[in-house]
């Protein structure tokens, strides 16, 4: 019994409903004259600016830099974080030494250390990537740690029962079993990487979308600034969806539990 085509279209359009409402509200406000036209340009102007910038390659240039930084730190954090998490779960000594740092350090904003990173690594990309790495490390390591610890013993017993070696058990049982939890951590870390890269670019730099927005605002060219914000939104959205797609391919046996919304 196929769903009526009307219902299907409605379902696909559903995500656009709030966006449409907000866009309409924005246009109304922008054109009403209640707010200064400079401060709140119409969507037409914003997208016009966006188009120009895209053509000139400016936005793509800055976006590329931001994304490169974010993904570098993010990628590094995945590798190191998962390793740390696994190690903590498997070695009680390592756990006793290191886990408290993660638990206690979690609510501490590591962004506060950014000036230190600047001093040690300069103003450019390295300090940013280092901070991104640090911030992303925590959720990934912690989630991996909890994930491995929470693996049902029965899986391990089943594997041992078949005479599987420790290595095989680790890679073919433990890691897949902990994969959903590990991905949970990874999914949390991705937006963090974006936040940190944009933020650090705003504080001080001459490249990247964060800088672009900051500079546009300071130069009173608000339509450019909004265009920049929109670009970041797109980047963030695309990256997240890509991650979800990847996750569902890799952890195919468990539908995205870490996506608590109806997607």
Quick one: 178 or 227, whose CB is closer to another protein? 227
Quick one: 103 or 158, whose CB is closer to another protein? 103
The minimum distance between CB 263 and another protein, in angstroms, equals 6
**Span interacting with another protein, options 25-33, 72-80, 111-119, 166-174, rule CB under 8 A:** 111-119
State the Cα–Cα distance between residues 54 and 210, nearest whole angstrom.
Answer: 16
Q: Which residues make Cβ contacts (< 8 Å) with residue 63, sequence separation at least 6?
A: 209, 231, 232, 235
Structure tokens belonging to residue 167:
């290595």
* Contact between residue 96 and residue 109 where contact means Cβ atoms under 8 Å apart: no
Quick one: 189 or 251, whose CB is closer to another protein? 189
Among 74, 114, 133, 145, binds another protein (CB under 8 A): 114
* Contact between residue 113 and residue 199 where contact means Cβ atoms under 8 Å apart: no
State the Cα–Cα distance between residues 99 and 89, nearest whole angstrom.
Answer: 9
Q: Which residues, 137 to 196, sit near another protein by CB under 8 A? A: 190-191, 194-195
Structure tokens belonging to residue 39:
């401060």
x/- track of binding to another protein for residues 37-76 (CB under 8 A): --x-------------------------------------
**Span interacting with another protein, options 56-64, 72-80, 171-179, 217-225, rule CB under 8 A:** 217-225
Closest-CA residue to 201 (of 111, 77, 120, 74): 111
Q: Which residues, 3 to 42, sit near another protein by CB under 8 A? A: 14-19, 21-22, 39
Q: Is 229 in the site for another protein (CB under 8 A)?
A: yes
State the Cα–Cα distance between residues 126 and 116, nearest whole angstrom.
Answer: 12
Per DSSP, 151 falls in state S
Closest-CA residue to 225 (of 71, 62, 64): 62
Q: Is 218 in the site for another protein (CB under 8 A)?
A: yes
> Kind and range of the H or E element at 121?
helix 114-121
Among 32, 93, 153, 154, binds another protein (CB under 8 A): 93
Maximum C-alpha span of the chain? 76
Neighbouring C-beta atoms of residue 89, cutoff 10 Å: 21
Q: Is 108 in the site for another protein (CB under 8 A)?
A: yes
Quick one: 92 or 168, whose CB is closer to another protein? 92
| Binding-site ranges for another protein (CB under 8 A) | 1, 14-19, 21-22, 39, 90-94, 96-101, 103-104, 106-109, 111-116, 118-120, 190-191, 194-195, 198-199, 202-203, 209-210, 213-214, 216-218, 222, 225-226, 228-229, 232-233, 236-237, 239-240, 259-263
């Amino acid at each position: 019994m196929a769903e009526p085509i009307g219902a299907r279209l409605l379902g696909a359009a559903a995500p656009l409903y709030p966006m449409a409402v907000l866009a309409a509200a924005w246009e109304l406000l922008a054109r009403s004259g209640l707010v200064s036209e400079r401060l709140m340009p119409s969507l037409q102007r914003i997208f016009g600016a966006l188009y120009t910038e895209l053509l000139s390659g400016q936005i793509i240039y800055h976006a590329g830099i931001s994304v490169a930084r974010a993904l570098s730190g993010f990628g590094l954090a995945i590798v190191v974080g998962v390793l740390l998490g696994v190690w903590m779960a498997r070695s009680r000594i390592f756990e006793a030494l290191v886990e408290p740092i993660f638990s206690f350090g979690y609510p501490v904003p590591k962004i506060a250390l950014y000036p230190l990173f600047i001093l040690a690594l300069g103003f450019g990309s390295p300090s940013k990537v280092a901070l991104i790495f640090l911030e992303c490390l925590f959720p990934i390591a912690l989630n991996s740690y909890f994930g491995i610890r929470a693996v049902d013993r029965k899986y391990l017993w089943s594997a041992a029962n078949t005479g599987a070696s420790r290595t095989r058990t680790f890679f073919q049982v433990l890691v897949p079993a902990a994969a959903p939890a590990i991905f949970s951590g990874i999914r949390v870390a991705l937006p963090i990487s974006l936040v940190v890269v944009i933020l650090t670019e705003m504080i001080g730099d001459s490249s990247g979308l964060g800088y672009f927005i900051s500079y546009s605002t300071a130069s009173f060219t608000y339509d450019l600034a909004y265009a920049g914000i929109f670009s970041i939104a797109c980047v963030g959205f695309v990256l997240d969806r890509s991650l979800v797609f990847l996750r569902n391919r890799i952890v195919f046996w468990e539908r995205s539990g870490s996506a608590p919304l109806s997607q």
